[in-house]
Structure 1
């Protein structure tokens, strides 16, 4: 005879064990989605015409960003449709061996600064790769590169709510 104070049976222990495992997995899944949502994220999709789409989710700071490459070097891009060119910091430019071309004036969100024109042999973002992309080397940018219109103008861009979709132009 078992009383209310007796230990749980082996069957009850197994059920408690599996319930705890399920609860932990659900919690980790929720945490993963919260982190991805906060950081923004890139995924690939396909439209009804078979075009591959790069889909970005807005980050908590209201920006769209994702990882990519410049000349084979990993970079984190902030998508900036207000930037005329792809822009990189002096530090990043030096670390990946970019050529500092003619000095120019650049209007940034923080005001005018002096920078340099350069060309990027290859820019990759999601499944999209362009060659010979105009860029600027802009002092004070920090660690992120700006993915500006010298890259984006070659694609179709649609922003709806917290989602930005980039597709190759076409049918």
Structure 2
């Protein structure tokens, strides 16, 4: 039903225009903000003479965040050289099919928590694939991000310079 009154039609057009404009702006700024938190959403790997290399850009807070996979399940990693092992929130562990192997206690920034030890069959960052990675399942966190600790990072060569972290491996 189209309004017959010209003022009503102009008003409806005006409202629809602004709703559409705000919708497009919301999509644009949501994507922009996501990129600010994780500038490494699509990793580009370089493979030269058996050496696979990935360069990660630091986010605005100076942290390295990157998309990857655990057992073919898409995840977001927060690289943490201060963490002993990979720490997976329980909800992500369930989605990735991780099994609780043994109970343990872990010291975190929030204090000591009960966790479950597990093994990640495959962990991927770009073209770098790590197998049989020691990890913990943390039921005490509701974050949607995986802490990528030294049980994974220790299998790689890495160096940092001017806001760029370079990860390298030869074992694939």
Which runs of no fewer than 5 residues in structure 2 stay unpaired?
A: 1-30
Distance in structure 2 (CA, Å) of the matches to 1:144 and 1:74: 11
Match of 1:104 in 2: 104
Q: Call closer, same or farther: CA 1:159–1:70 in 2, change over 3 Å.
A: same
Q: Call closer, same or farther: CA 1:160–1:37 in 2, change over 3 Å.
A: farther
Q: Secondary structure at the match of 1:67?
A: strand
Q: TM-score, normalised by structure 1?
A: 0.71
Distance in structure 1 (CA, Å) of the matches to 2:96 and 2:36: 30
Q: Larger radius of gyration, structure 1 or 2? A: 1
1:169: Cα distance to partner? 5.4
Which runs of no fewer than 5 residues in structure 1 stay unpaired?
A: 1-31
1:93: Cα distance to partner? 1.2
Q: TM-score, normalised by structure 2?
A: 0.71
Q: Secondary structure at the match of 2:82?
A: coil
CA-atom RMSD, angstroms? 2.4
C-alpha contact (below 8 Å) 1:88/1:141 kept by paired residues: no
C-alpha contact (below 8 Å) 1:156/1:168 kept by paired residues: yes
Q: Call closer, same or farther: CA 1:87–1:78 in 2, change over 3 Å.
A: same
What does residue range 1-171 of structure 1 map to in structure 2 within 5 Å?
Answer: 36=35, 39-41=38-40, 42-45=43-46, 51-138=51-138, 139-140=140-141, 142-168=143-169
1:37: Cα distance to partner? 5.5
Distance in structure 1 (CA, Å) of the matches to 2:90 and 2:34: 30
